[in-house]
Amino acid sequence: MINNGFLKFGTLTICTIFALIGAVSFEQLLSDNRQYGQGSNRVLAQTSEEKEANVVCEKGSNAVVTVKDGNGHGSGFIVSRDGLIITNAHVVEGSPSVVTVVFNNGKQVPADVIGFAMGGLDLAVLKIQNRKNLPTLSLAHPNSVKVGYHVFAIGTPLSEDNRDTCTQGYISRIRADGEIQHTANTNPGNSGGPLLNAQGEVIGVNSLVATAPVFDGAGNPFAYTPSGTGINFALPVEKVKSFLADVRKERVSNESTLPKTKEPTIATISLNGQVVNGSLAEGDPIAENGAFFNSYQFQGRAGQQIVIDMTSKKINSVLSLYQVSESSEGQKPKPIAENDDIGPGDFNAQIKTNLPADGLYVIIASSHERGETGNYSLRAIATP
């Protein structure tokens, strides 16, 4: 779900055009004519692909809704003609028993929050009452998802005014738990909306987007904003089908079963090489990519060389370093360095960098994998 007042982000698109002009002989002209014919076929193919995309986006948007509860909004999609709607649990977690859904034409109707998935799965089901002929989306066959396939995301990113937004991309990775990583642009507010294949079938539920931290006045990470990485995540259709089977058997929870998270806190770390033993665990703050994280702060000086090591036998360590800078809008984080693996086969993390200015810095100790837990050791050393 996105809260009202969330920062809006723009997108920069760069288009490059190539041209070739020159004198040609008669034989060259014949060759160019043949090439021109081939080029025309390519243009026709592109046009066909665009028409396909238009069909998927227009047909799909009829069954996609905005979900509002008075405090913010998310997205959802209709899976039965009598009004069953799938969305993320975190979209309606803490909502009243009746929320508002908005169709792509702007029509608003109430929907009951029927239940939440068991076992901490980020899915919930809503129901529009007294309807029998609503547009629906079909669920794809579970084994039809492959890396490189074309996908479409439909939802309401950032603002309620952006309903019926359709973006395109490709499947870039399928994780071990089946979660789909893709490049179709999503933002807060897309949560709960469908990820569709080229046939307009649902292959997943958009749930997360890779993000960067924002800090409060004391330097504590309290929110995450899209980082423009093009890394987006969707729950796989297999889990949607399993959840719907539970819904029909009335095996759902009255309340969200998502893990409860602690309020983000930040510890102070010395720069004398003292080892800090930490742990990523259930209940720790969660980044939008689903990984748990811990935060550490220190005061640095311009020109200091900093070496930060995070080692663990349990988790795939990830380190991020941010400078917290003052501005007219308050304190903002500026990424300084990040490291996932020290080298091939070494899943520990290390950052070695020179600090650009005096001031407050924050270390984010996290994991490469969503929900990964385990102990780690952290050490920071500074030289003048």
Tell me, yes or no, whether 244 and 303 share the same domain.
Answer: no
Burial of 73 (0-12, 13-18, 19+ CB in 10 A): buried
How many domains, the chain?
2
Q: Does 227 reside within a domain?
A: yes
What pLDDT, on a 0 to 100 scale, did the predictor assign at position 161?
Answer: 92
Q: Does 78 reside within a domain?
A: yes
Tell me, yes or no, whether 95 and 228 share the same domain.
Answer: yes
Give catalytic status of residue 191 as yes or no.
yes
What pLDDT, on a 0 to 100 scale, did the predictor assign at position 111?
Answer: 97
Tell me, yes or no, whether 270 and 254 share the same domain.
Answer: no
Give the end of a domain, one of 205, 228, 258.
258
Q: Does 15 reside within a domain?
A: no
Give catalytic status of residue 82 as yes or no.
no
Tell me, yes or no, whether 235 and 311 share the same domain.
Answer: no
Give catalytic status of residue 122 as yes or no.
yes
Q: Does 70 reside within a domain?
A: yes
- CATH number of domain containing 288: 2.60.120.380
Which residues are within 8 A (CB) of 346 and not within 5 positions of it... i.e. 6 or more apart?
A: none
Of 191, 207, 256, 320, catalytic: 191
Tell me, yes or no, whether 182 and 117 share the same domain.
Answer: yes
CA gap 158, 3 in Å, rounded: 9
Tell me, yes or no, whether 204 and 298 share the same domain.
Answer: no
Tell me, yes or no, whether 296 and 362 share the same domain.
Answer: yes
Q: Does 163 reside within a domain?
A: yes
Which residues are within 8 A (CB) of 166 and not within 5 positions of it... i.e. 6 or more apart?
A: 56, 57, 60, 61, 152, 153, 154
Give the end of a domain, one of 225, 258, 291.
258
Tell me, yes or no, whether 109 and 231 share the same domain.
Answer: yes
Residue 182 tokens read as 């893709």
Give the end of a domain, one of 258, 289, 304.
258
What pLDDT, on a 0 to 100 scale, did the predictor assign at position 264?
Answer: 63
What pLDDT, on a 0 to 100 scale, did the predictor assign at position 261?
Answer: 67
- Residue 75 contacts residue 206 (beta carbons within 8 Å): yes
- CATH number of domain containing 204: 2.40.10.120
Q: Does 32 reside within a domain?
A: no
- Residue 80 contacts residue 194 (beta carbons within 8 Å): no
Tell me, yes or no, whether 247 and 111 share the same domain.
Answer: yes
Q: Does 61 reside within a domain?
A: yes
Strand partners, 151: 169
Of 61, 69, 80, 122, catalytic: 122
Q: What are the per-10-residue average pLDDT scores of the chain (384 residues)?
A: 38 26 32 45 66 92 95 95 97 95 96 96 97 96 92 94 95 92 92 97 91 55 54 94 96 90 78 94 78 91 96 94 76 86 90 94 91 94 87
Tell me, yes or no, whether 192 and 239 share the same domain.
Answer: yes
Range of the domain at 75: 55-258
Q: Which of 258, 265, 253, 338 is nearest to 290 (CA)?
A: 258
Q: Does 8 reside within a domain?
A: no
Tell me, yes or no, whether 221 and 330 share the same domain.
Answer: no
Tell me, yes or no, whether 178 and 224 share the same domain.
Answer: yes
What pLDDT, on a 0 to 100 scale, did the predictor assign at position 27?
Answer: 35
